[in-house]
Amino acid sequence: MRYTMIVLLEFYPSWLALPREDRRKHAFSLQEIMQKYEDHVKVCFYDAEALPGKDYTDFVICETEDMKFYHFMWEEIRDSIPYTIGYMKIKDVIMGMENAFKSYEKEMLELDK
């Protein structure tokens, strides 16, 4: 079963106060973490600050079939400098399962269609 998570993030003014070179360095370190898990977790990062959004500046869409790797990836991100210094925070996570009702019908009700 495929799981999809939309992770709402907020980057604080302290992040924007950093020189762009420092922000790029920290962003690269986050990308390196995500790349470690790319065989198990598909990640797309979106900037939403210039668009209408309540309580978030960015969001990440993650897709996986194994929640363990998704969890491990976010544990590493939460241990990273941008997170631990307080440049960013996870504001909310919206989670869903792709066509979960079909899996239920097939596995539990033994309906093949």
Which CATH architecture describes the domain 3-107?
2-Layer Sandwich (3.30)
Whether the Cβ atoms of residue 81 and residue 65 lie closer than 8 Å to each other: no
Tokens representing 60 are 């990440």
Tokens representing 105 are 């019908």
Give residue-wise pLDDT tens across range 43-57: 999 999 888 777 899
**Stated pTM of the model:** 0.89
- Exposed, middle or buried, 87 (CB in 10 Å: 0-12/13-18/19+)? buried
Give residue-wise pLDDT tens across range 80-89: 999 999 999 9
In the chain, what are the domain boundaries?
A: 3-107
